[in-house]
Chains A and B, each alone.
Chain A
Amino acid sequence: MALYRALIELADDHLVLGHRLSEWCGHAPMLEEDLALSNFALDLIGTARSLYAYAAEIEGKGRSEDDLAYLRNEREYLNCLLVERPNGDFAHTMLREFYFAAFMEPFWQAALASNDKVIAGIAGKAVKEMAYHMRHAGEWIVRLGDGTEESAARMQAAVVDLHPYWEELFSGGDCDALPDRAALRPAWEASVKAVFAEANLDWPEPVYGQNGGRDGMHSEVLGRMLSDMQYLQRAHPGATW
């Protein structure tokens, strides 16, 4: 079941981040960003669906992708803590997106060569989308970091706030069909440092990294997010439309 568990970790990362981005719908600072964030949310949720569907098939207990998304409790979610962080301001959202995409782009790139055809297929679609997210979020980090005094201060504050959370991206998912997460760290650090240099942002001193998400130990915010996301299926079990 190593593959099942690794797929759930990956799918949960995508669904939770996708749901977070969807919270911006109607609230982004400008129409173009409202469209971009909603579309990024769609990409992530679409990838999550493919991953849940495959996980459900492997599990073989007759559960559907919807069962996995809507009927599991907080402690059964295996996403990393980074993706459940609240949206904060626009700088926080863009930095969180960039950290995630800068990890997933090389991850899917490596997964294209997976001996598992379903995973290679999902990777083929996702790798193009992640490259897009990375570029878009990276441009905003440079624009804000290298912008006004106010925008630079907020961008730097986001860097400090999210600093304990990025390292967990490299944990979890040990199975043959998926790339080794730890091996992607040099590529991730190179992408982040290149953008930070252009944005005049300082890389903070190392701090004690927060983790536990892969074991279902989450921060308080995930429960609230799930109660919102799962409300309809919990209140009206089996509802369809």
Chain B
Amino acid sequence: MTATKAWDVAAAVPDPELPCVTVAELGILREVVMEGDTAVARVSPTYSGCPAVQFIEEAIAGALHDAGYKARIERVISPPWTTDWISDAGREKLRAYGIAPPQTASNSKRALFGETVVTCPRCGATDTEKLSEFGSTPCKAHYRCKACLEPFDYFKCI
């Protein structure tokens, strides 16, 4: 019953909307600490209104409970989650899953509003166009590759 073991349990929980990556790889699981015999997992939502956050919190608490821990979830909003916290392994898994990962080092308004080159996750072409500001979830935009014509989601930088 150590914090490290509790972290391993919580970190392995997949994101419900992006099941190819875990909550740790996405950077939304901040830390797990032991308070007495209770594992406290600190979780950050991606967007203020992310509808998945409650489900994610319950999934983490459930995983800890199944591993024999008393669990409590704390929601942390500061400092705000940024796409920079997605791990390199997480980015590669997103790409393999067909979602263009966010550009790195992008926690600025310039990255959000400037012209960014989004690379097609299937063929690697950079000749892509934005179809919609929002994709299947608030954190993604919808793009199309002009080279292979494949539509795909792009994980927006925030």
Where the two chains meet, the residues of A that have a C-beta atom closer than 8 Å to any C-beta of B are: 18, 31-32, 35-36, 39, 41-47, 49-50, 117, 120-122, 124-126, 128-129, 131-132, 135-136
Expressed in whole angstroms, the Cα–Cα distance for A46 and B131 within the complex equals: 26
Tell me the smallest distance from the CB of B118 to a CB of chain A, in Å: 17
Where the two chains meet, the residues of B that have a C-beta atom closer than 8 Å to any C-beta of A are: 45, 47-51, 77-81, 109, 112-113, 131-135, 138, 142, 158
Task: Please name 22 pairs of A and B residues whose Cβ atoms are closer than 8 Å in the assembled complex, sorted by A.
Answer: A32-B131, A35-B134, A39-B49, A42-B51, A43-B47, A44-B49, A46-B48, A46-B49, A49-B48, A49-B49, A50-B48, A50-B77, A122-B77, A124-B79, A125-B45, A125-B47, A125-B48, A125-B77, A125-B80, A128-B109, A128-B158, A132-B112
Specify which of B47, B49, B77, B133 is in contact with A121 (CB 8 Å cutoff).
B77
- The prevalent SS among residues of B at the interface is loop
Closest to B78 in A: A121
Expressed in whole angstroms, the Cα–Cα distance for A39 and B112 within the complex equals: 17
Known contacts A42-B51, A122-B77, A125-B80; is-contact A131 B134 (Cβ 8 Å): no
Tell me the smallest distance from the CB of B36 to a CB of chain A, in Å: 24
- How many Cβ-Cβ contacts under 8 Å join chain A to chain B? 72
Closest to B134 in A: A35
- Chain A residues whose C-beta falls within 8 Å of the C-beta of B112 in the assembled complex: 128, 131-132
Closest to B46 in A: A125
Expressed in whole angstroms, the Cα–Cα distance for A59 and B126 within the complex equals: 53
Tell me the smallest distance from the CB of A72 to a CB of chain B, in Å: 21
Expressed in whole angstroms, the Cα–Cα distance for A44 and B51 within the complex equals: 12
Known contacts A32-B133, A131-B109; is-contact A42 B78 (Cβ 8 Å): no
Specify which of B48, B51, B132 is in contact with A32 (CB 8 Å cutoff).
B132
Tell me the smallest distance from the CB of A219 to a CB of chain B, in Å: 26
In the bound complex, do residue B138 and residue A42 qualify as a contact, i.e. CB atoms below 8 Å apart?
yes
- Chain A residues whose C-beta falls within 8 Å of the C-beta of B77 in the assembled complex: 50, 121-122, 124-125
- Chain B residues whose C-beta falls within 8 Å of the C-beta of A135 in the assembled complex: 113
Tell me the smallest distance from the CB of A35 to a CB of chain B, in Å: 4
In the bound complex, do residue B79 and residue A46 qualify as a contact, i.e. CB atoms below 8 Å apart?
no
Specify which of B78, B138, B142 is in contact with A117 (CB 8 Å cutoff).
B78
In the bound complex, do residue A124 and residue B134 qualify as a contact, i.e. CB atoms below 8 Å apart?
no
Tell me the smallest distance from the CB of A51 to a CB of chain B, in Å: 10
In the bound complex, do residue B47 and residue A46 qualify as a contact, i.e. CB atoms below 8 Å apart?
yes
Expressed in whole angstroms, the Cα–Cα distance for A123 and B66 within the complex equals: 36
- Chain A residues whose C-beta falls within 8 Å of the C-beta of B138 in the assembled complex: 39, 42-43
Tell me the smallest distance from the CB of B100 to a CB of chain A, in Å: 18
- Chain A residues whose C-beta falls within 8 Å of the C-beta of B81 in the assembled complex: 125
- Chain B residues whose C-beta falls within 8 Å of the C-beta of A121 in the assembled complex: 77-78, 80
Specify which of A18, A35, A41, A46 is in contact with B132 (CB 8 Å cutoff).
A35
In the bound complex, do residue B78 and residue A120 qualify as a contact, i.e. CB atoms below 8 Å apart?
yes
In the bound complex, do residue A36 and residue B80 qualify as a contact, i.e. CB atoms below 8 Å apart?
no
